[in-house]
């Protein structure tokens, strides 16, 4: 295991900082604090652009390979995560509106607000290689109210879990066999098979038991099966091999609000880490020797 230091890659410029009153989401999550942004849900597109969601102010940014930022979407909502679907649509999980599709710069269509009961407040999402979307519904759940949910959506929606203490980051193993989900308020990462039973919930196990900070936030798998974990309010990310052995502990030089991780599509050892405290993106090359 290596302790590594990430280096700055790009940062949200002051010109893009929100300067008005805090949004209701900002007041709820950081009462009494000024919040110019809260960046989440990093991912790369096929052109190697990095995308980020700014939850409290309804914005989605695209960052070019050279680190230049552009505002792609801004809505009256709280998009926690956005992904480009296999058919090219821009699908997002929005804390206020539910599962949505961006239809323009400042427009969207609501795809679902929940099945029999409304969503608690959606949190993160991931597509498998089969085109199936998995997403989490955390609301304000915790150990005292472990009712966070995980959903599967392929045009038809199914609630897979409803017992998670703040279901947050989610990703699919590269072979498509496993789902990893962050149970943030238990400081755990859970794991279950994508081969779901016909009815009822799948068997779920604790893949990782973490400590410190708030708990795991964003998750990401690379093509060789490594799992990266953004440890919220700890200023660091962890990288594990498929057996759950720790490969690297990556420390940020600035910021504690570690929210999101993603691997570069051209290099599965090149990790990008997002800090929401200052709006920064950091990167680190993870040694692959022995893995």
Residue 267 lies in a domain: yes
Residue 273 lies in a domain: yes
Residue 143 lies in a domain: yes
pTM of the model: 0.95
Tally of domains within the chain: 1
Residue 290 lies in a domain: no
Q: Residue 151 is part of which domain span?
A: 2-285
Label each residue of the chain as H, E or C.
CEEEECEEEEECCHHHCCCCCCCHHHHHHCCCCCCCCCEEEEEECCCCCEEEEEHHHCEEEEECCCCCEEEEEECCCCEEEEEECCCCCEEEEECCCEEEEECCCCCEEEEECCCCCCCCCEEEEEECCCCCEEEEECCCCECCECCEEEEEECCCEEEEEEEECCEEEEEECCCCCEEEEEEHHHCEEEEEECCCCCCCCCCCEEEEECCCCCEEEEEEECCCCCEEEEEECCCEEEEECCCCCEEEEEECCCCCCEEEEEEECCEEEEEEEEECCCCEEEEEECCCCCC
Mean pLDDT, rounded, of the chain: 95
For a pLDDT cut of 90, what percent of the chain falls above it? 91
Residue 183's CATH number: 2.120.10.30
Residue 217 lies in a domain: yes
Q: What is the mean pLDDT of residues 18-22?
A: 88
Q: Residue 30 pLDDT > 90, yes or no?
A: no
Tens digits of per-residue pLDDT, 134-192? 999 999 999 999 999 999 999 899 999 999 999 999 999 999 999 999 999 999 999 99
Residue 161 lies in a domain: yes
Q: What is the mean pLDDT of residues 10-14?
A: 95
Residue 157 lies in a domain: yes
Q: What is the mean pLDDT of residues 105-111?
A: 96
The predicted structure's pLDDT at residue 20 = 86
Residue 291 lies in a domain: no
Tens digits of per-residue pLDDT, 244-258? 999 999 999 999 999
């Amino acid at each position: 295991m290596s302790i590594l230091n990430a280096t700055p890659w790009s940062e949200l410029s002051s010109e893009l900082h929100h300067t008005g009153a805090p949004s209701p989401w900002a007041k709820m999550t950081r009462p009494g604090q000024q919040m110019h942004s809260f960046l989440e849900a990093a991912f790369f597109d096929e052109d190697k652009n990095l995308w980020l969601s700014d939850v409290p102010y309804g914005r989605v940014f695209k960052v070019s390979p050279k680190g230049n930022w552009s505002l792609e979407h801004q809505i009256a909502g709280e998009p926690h995560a956005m992904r480009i679907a296999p058919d090219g649509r821009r699908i997002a999980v929005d804390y206020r509106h539910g599962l949505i599709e961006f239809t323009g710069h400042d427009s969207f269509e609501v795809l679902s607000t929940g099945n029999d009961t409304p969503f608690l407040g959606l949190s993160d999402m991931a597509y498998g290689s089969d085109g199936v979307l998995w997403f989490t519904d955390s609301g304000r759940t915790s150990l005292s109210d472990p009712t966070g949910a995980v959903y599967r959506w392929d045009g038809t929606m199914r609630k897979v879990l409803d017992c998670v203490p703040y279901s947050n980051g989610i990703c699919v193993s590269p072979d498509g066999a496993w789902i990893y989900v962050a149970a943030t308020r238990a400081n755990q990462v859970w794991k279950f098979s994508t081969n779901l039973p016909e009815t009822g919930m799948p068997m779920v196990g604790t893949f990782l038991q973490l400590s410190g900070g708030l708990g795991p936030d964003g998750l990401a798998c690379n093509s060789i099966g490594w799992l990266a974990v953004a440890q919220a309010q700890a200023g660091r990310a962890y990288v594990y091999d498929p057996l759950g052995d720790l490969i690297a502990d990556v420390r940020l030089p600035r910021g504690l609000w570690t929210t999101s991780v993603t691997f570069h599509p051209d290099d599965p050892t090149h990790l990008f880490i997002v800090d929401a405290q200052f709006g920064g993106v950091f990167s680190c090359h993870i040694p692959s020797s022995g893995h």
